[in-house]
Amino acid sequence: MPSSSVAIRTTGRRSVLAALLILPALATVLWNQPAPAQEAPVEIPPPAADLTEQGSSATAIFAGGCFWGVQGVFQHVNGVTRAVSGYSGGAADTATYEQTGSGTTGHAEAVEVTYDPSVVSYGDLLQIYFSVAHNPTQLNYQGPDHGTQYRSTIFPVSDEQAEIARAYIAQLDATGLFEGPIVTTIEPFEAFYTAEQYHQDFLTLNPTWPYIVFHDLPKIAALKQLFPDAYRDEPVLVGTL
């Protein structure tokens, strides 16, 4: 493989994004080179304990690698009324794509999920997060994307969410269904910062981009297959098409 191909492939999505913006034809050729198969989702049981939430709206925040795919998955879940890509874990003045990409800001690429608890529970969202939205056994990376900004992290917005998430991680580790121990961290929630507009609805708006085709569309297919009752064909979008 040419050295230029290695450089783009091993530095992950950020390099591919830059290449696609500057040299789309070249980047497409490079991404069509042979690559490892997309990891299969893991069929897992629901949480043994769940939240009983009142009202018609609640919020959960998940980080699991590139926010394009995580946002795309939750946008296809019944009961989710909004899913926004953004940053959490660091300060407001470093909540940008370029700064977060350095891996030194404390931010993780995250998705703020707003949902109707009468339709989908926090436990349901956790099950989808661990099963199809990302691989929770990969420490500080997801597929080709490496760095702490791609870590597997839950930012609970309440003590109750934190308790349910911790219990579920222990439950899943005990099943032995994953290829290794779950490395997902539970970090104190301080703030969520919305990402730049060009990152919003990225999966829906760019369904033929090689990165989306290879890494993210299989997640949508897995959601439909493993969670047919939770799946919605039309995604709930941040913007309008």
Q: Return the DSSP state at 152.
A: E
The residue annotated as part of the active site, out of 66, 169, 195, 223, is 66
Q: Which two tokens stand for residue 1?
A: 């493989």
Q: How far from the centroid of its chain's Cα atoms is residue 175's Cα?
A: 23
CA distance 93 to 212: 29
Strand, helix or coil for residue 3: helix
CA distance 109 to 101: 9
Is 66 assigned a catalytic role? yes
Closest by CA to 106, choosing from 155, 57, 60, is 155
Strand, helix or coil for residue 36: coil
- For residue 8, what is the enclosing H or E element? helix 3-10
- Helix, strand, coil percentages (3-state) for the chain, rounded to 5, are 40, 15, 45
How far is residue 118 from each of residues 20, 113, 123, 165, 224, measured CA to CA in Å? 41, 15, 12, 19, 21
CA distance 36 to 236: 31
Residues identified as active-site = 66
